[in-house]
Structure formats: C-alpha cells, structure tokens
C-alpha cells in the first residue's frame, strides 16, 4: 500500500489546470487456465482515512460518482496495531478517531443527506460508510490493518500464541464488535457494531524488509500462518455466536516479488483460511529509483508484472479464484529524464513534482496532463501499461484502456476480481472504476 503521510508539493507546470477541468473531461489470456470455479468477481476499493483532508474525498463521493454501485467491498485504510500488540485507536501513531467516528458530517456531505447530531454515538467516516451500505445492499466494508507505514509491530505482536490471541481479540473487539473508545458523546460499547464485514491484513512484509524500522524475523513466516488461523478461528466463533449467523471475511494484501513471498508466506496453508488475497499489482518500480520504468505492467519481459505475480502465487498453491489483482489509481513519475526515445528505461534526476507527494500522482491529475498537448501517451506490451513523456518528465500509470485490459485478463483467467488503490485517485465521475467494471462483466 501507499504511505499514510501526504505532503502538499508543487504541481508540475503542464498540470496547472484547475480541478474544475476534471469534471468536464469526457471519460474516454495467457498461460493461466481458468479454474472451474465461477464466483462473482470481486471489485474492491481502498478508502483512505486521510483522504477527507487535503483531497477532500468523502464517503459521499462514492455514491455521487456511481462508484459504490460498482464495488463489492470497501477496504478502510488503516486500522493500527500498536506497540502493545493490540489494535489501538487514539493512542498510537497513524490513528485518527476524529476522521473515523468523531467528526460531525454536515447534511451536504452526508450520504443520506442528514447531518450528524451532537448526541449520536457514531459519526465521521464510520457512520458514512454505514449509510453507504444501507444505500447499496450487498456492499461489504473491511477494516484493513497495518499498511506500509503501519506494519512496525506485527512481528513482535505475533511471536507467541498468547500474543496472537490478544491481537486478534482486540481487533475483533474494536472493529467487528464495534466497541470504540468513548470520546464525548461518540463511541462506547457496540457503537460501530455491524459496520465491518471482515478483516484485511496489510502486514508489509512478514519475514522481509518493508518500511524502515519494522520488526522482521525469520519466524514471521510460520507466525503469519498462525495469525491467519487465529483470525479465522475467532471470526468464525464470533459469527456463529450471533443470533443471525454471519461469515466474516478474511483477506490480505500480498507481495509480487517471489523472494518476499517465500520469506513470509506459507501459501498453500494460508489460502485455506483466506477468502481471498489482494495481489500487489503496482509499485513494481518507484520514482525513487534512478532509472525510469513501468510501475504496473500486465506483462513484462524479465521484470515484475501482474502476470508474473499471478503465476508466482499459482505455482505456490494458491487457487486462482482467490487471487484478486491490484490495480493503481495513481502513477509513478520521474523528472530530469535524459536519453531520448520514449523515456522509458532512461536515467532521471529524481521524482517528478506532484500535488501531494513527489513522484506519485493521482490519475485525475494525470488525465489533465494527458489532455494538455504537452505529453505524448505511449502504450506497452499488449496494452498492459501506459506512460506519458514530455521529453523531460515521465509518468507511468493505468488509464481506462489498461484497466479494461487487466479486468479482461482477470475474467479470462478465472481469477477472483480486481482491487484498487485508492478510490480517491479516480475522476469525479468514476471513470476508472467504470472501466474495471466493464472489463469484468463483458462477455
């Protein structure tokens, strides 16, 4: 996943067009054999807790854009695992109860058109997600635990059986049972009960390097398997205890690199307990590298790719129908590119200037660049990736053409569906999620 911290930076000159232009721009089978299993394909989108601030991307935007109707799951990023080995809220870095359930949402910003009152126990994003589910029966919301900058304490927390039981019980208590810390009139026992339909594990990465400072040890690999089993056991036990029995789903975000897979994942074992896993389908190359490269290609020769990732998980025992392909709603960018040609595979001086974080730009801004007349659009192998190049700056990203191709690949190869990071990168009319939806449903 992408980091939590988003810092405002200078937007490139060619993209100086205002956000108002975005709304006026018109939307514009390989070696893997399908399995006999034909479930409904998943459409999973990550909603970022912090997107409500600088990006001003609200839960209501998922309804007004038509996105919610095209999703099967929303993964809420992120729940925090603290240094004490428990799911924490309000007393750990990265936790933001104000965004989650304390912040009052006014009528104009609310999904149901009714503003939050001072005495209601659940407000903020959580209440808006509850309203979104009411408006879209069948939509599920998962709590995603960890993330790139939130995985520091997993390894310590799961070293022992007691630690695993404590961690899982605390996460179920906070999110599945909905027992939130009291903050004025907000929170309390059962305040968020019924909101979350499962847990998504975003430990990046068991047994191998992730964000600097993460705990890493060789026994992470078997301990991750035991953690998954503990989640499955406790979720099932709680689901059976309800008057109306419920199956809580369990998923994970998992890596593309074979070395990281082998270091941290006993694939055949964990897949028995997971409902599905979301495959890393982006950040194959990042703007911190000194040479430009594709970040999310469907196919690539002698390089990371979506196809390579799918193959790596299949070869290690994962069922095809449980593999959900990750797709980016942002691009990676470099500036100071020299060497001519189409810009790909050339040296660069550093990450390109961008709106929030240097080297990373939302699709809605990249669309402005693509329509500016300054950049030339290039397409890669079998329409499996795209990039923009103006002679100096290069952005590699997925546009609707690429996403339709990837969604068709998912459908044709019997895979589980598509996942996107993150929903706030799309256009106001949901151009990208529409492309994925069409690719998954086309016959």
Half-sphere exposure of 133 (CA within 13 A, CB side): 18
Buried b (16+ CB within 10 A) or exposed e, 276-292: bbbbbbbbbbebeeeeb
Burial 68-84 (b: 16+ CB within 10 A, else e): bebbbbbbbbbbbbbee
Tell me if the bond preceding 205 is cis, omega within 30° of 0: yes
Check 63, 128, 204, 431 and give the catalytic one.
204
Residue recorded with tokens 């695992």 = 81
Taking the alpha carbons at both ends of the chain, their separation in whole angstroms is 31
**Known catalytic residue at 204:** yes
| Pairwise CA distance, residues 157 & 403, whole Å | 37
d(CA 411, CA 415): 6
Q: Note the Cα 85 to chain centre separation in Å.
A: 23
343: left (phi over 0), alpha (psi -120 to 50) or beta: left
Q: Are 99 and 48 in contact (CB under 8 A)?
A: no
The two three-digit tokens of residue 313, written as one number: 């998980």
Tokens representing 65?
């854009």
E-strand spans in 153-248?
180-183, 186-188, 198-202
H or E element at residue 214: none
Q: Catalytic amino acids? A: 204
């Amino acid at each position: 996943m992408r980091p939590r911290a988003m810092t405002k930076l200078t937007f490139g000159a060619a993209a100086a067009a205002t956000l108002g232009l975005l709304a006026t721009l018109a939307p514009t089978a390989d070696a893997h054999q399908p399995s006999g299993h034909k479930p409904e394909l998943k459409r999973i989108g990550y909603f970022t807790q912090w997107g409500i601030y600088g990006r001003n991307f609200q839960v209501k935007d998922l309804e007004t854009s038509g996105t919610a109707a095209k999703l099967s799951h929303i993964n809420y990023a992120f729940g925090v695992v603290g240094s004490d080995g428990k799911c924490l809220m309000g007393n750990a870095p990265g936790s933001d109860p104000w965004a989650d359930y304390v912040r009052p949402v006014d009528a104009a910003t609310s999904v149901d058109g009714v503003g939050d009152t001072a005495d209601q126990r659940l407000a903020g994003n959580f209440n808006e997600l509850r309203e979104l589910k009411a408006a879209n029966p069948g939509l599920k919301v998962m709590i995603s635990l960890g993330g790139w900058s939130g995985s520091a304490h997993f390894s310590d927390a799961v070293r022992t059986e007691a630690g695993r039981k404590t961690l899982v019980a605390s996460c179920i208590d906070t999110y599945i049972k909905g027992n939130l810390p009291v903050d004025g009139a907000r929170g309390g026992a059962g305040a968020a009960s019924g909101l979350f339909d499962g847990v998504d594990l975003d430990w990046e990465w068991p047994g191998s390097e992730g964000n600097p400072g993460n705990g890493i040890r060789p026994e992470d690999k078997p301990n991750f398997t035991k953690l998954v089993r503990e989640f499955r056991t406790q979720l099932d036990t709680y689901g059976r205890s309800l008057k109306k029995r419920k199956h809580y789903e369990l998923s994970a975000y998992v890596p593309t690199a074979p070395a990281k897979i082998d270091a941290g994942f006993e694939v055949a074992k964990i897949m028995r307990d997971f409902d599905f896993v979301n495959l890393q389908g982006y950040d194959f190359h990042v703007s911190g590298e000194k040479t430009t490269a594709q970040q999310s290609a469907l196919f690539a020769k002698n390089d990371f790719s979506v196809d390579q990732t799918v193959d790596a998980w299949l070869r290690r025992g994962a069922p095809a129908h449980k593999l959900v392909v990750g797709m980016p709603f942002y691009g990676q960018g470099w500036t100071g590119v020299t060497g001519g040609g189409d810009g790909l595979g050339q040296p660069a001086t550093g990450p390109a200037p961008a709106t929030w974080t240097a080297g990373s730009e939302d699709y809605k801004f990249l669309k402005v660049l693509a329509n500016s007349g300054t950049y030339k659009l290039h397409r890669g192998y079998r329409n499996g990736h795209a990039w923009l190049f103006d002679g100096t700056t290069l952005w590699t990203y997925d546009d609707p053409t690429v996403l339709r191709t990837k969604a068709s690949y998912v459908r044709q190869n019997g895979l589980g569906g598509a996942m996107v990071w993150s929903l706030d990168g799309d256009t106001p009319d949901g151009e990208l999620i529409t492309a994925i939806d069409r690719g998954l449903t086309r016959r």
